[in-house]
Structure 1
Amino acid sequence: MRDLKNMRAFIVDDDPFWTAILQQLLEGLGFSKISTFESGEACLDHIHLNPGLIFLDYQMGNANGLDVLQQVKAYYPGIEVVFCTALEDLEVAISAIEFGSAEYLLKANATEQALADIIENFHKIHTV
């Protein structure tokens, strides 16, 4: 059984406001090892730190979160990825799930309870 709260979490987003909000929400849920990155490239440069959980933005400057997602999963398929976006785009959501994202989170819906539910779902998956 993996306790994601005791593992490193990555936040990968080029929006410092969103990053700060998400980091605060995760800390409120008991996460203490949080690394933040402004680009997919920076995330991939640090993937050797073996995060248990990555919150990955879809649109980051020149990078596409779907490309980063595929590289993360190629490194280690067991990393849980929550694909985060401000866009309600069914095609992007389907692609994210097909490429291995476990969750698709609209930024407007990000609350501590929503994150707690996501973490609980991951916990259930890994304890079955």
Structure 2
Amino acid sequence: MKNIKILPAFIVDDDPFWTEVLKQILQKIGFTKIHTFEDGQSCLKNIHLNPALVFLDYQMENSNGLDILQEVKGYYPGIEVIFCTALENLEVAIAAMEFGSVEYLLKTTVTEELVTDLVSNFQSSQVA
């Protein structure tokens, strides 16, 4: 089983407070290569780093999360993308899942335990 915690994790969000909260959660559960981006284009310019996980916001000043999701999945379909947004919108959630997001999380419900469980699920589904 591959340890995805040694691979890069991306946080793509223009909210510096939320980015720091999520970064601290990832560090606490063992991620060491965490890259943060304020917009989708910066994420895409660095996609060659082959992240295991991408936490992606929907509403960013210069980016639409659904567009970025499609480009990330076009680069490599195996990247686990987790939509993590403040927007509670069923249509956007359905579109995110259709485009390949493995989860649609509301920022208000994210906990360390939830992120730990997600990572454990991803790791157990990886083939060595």
Provide the TM-score with structure 2 as the length reference: 0.95
What's the CA shift for 1:4?
1.5
What's the CA shift for 1:71?
0.1
Provide the residue aligned with 2:97 in structure 1: 97
Residue correspondence of structure 1 range 51-90 to structure 2 within 5 A = 51-90=51-90
Is residue 38 of structure 2 the alignment partner of residue 38 of structure 1? yes
Provide the residue aligned with 2:9 in structure 1: 9
Aligned AA (1:82): I
Distance in 1, matches of 2:53 and 2:15, equals 19
What is the aligned length? 128
Distance in 2, matches of 1:104 and 1:120, equals 17
Determine what percentage of the aligned residue pairs are the same residue.
Answer: 63
What's the CA shift for 1:126?
2.1
What's the CA shift for 1:104?
1.0
What's the CA shift for 1:124?
2.6
Distance in 2, matches of 1:57 and 1:2, equals 26
Q: Where in structure 2 are there 5+ consecutive unaligned residues?
A: none
Deviations 1:38-62 (A, max 9, x none): 0000000100111111000000003
What's the CA shift for 1:108?
0.4
3-state SS of the aligned residue for 2:55?
strand
Aligned AA (1:87): L
What's the CA shift for 1:105?
1.1
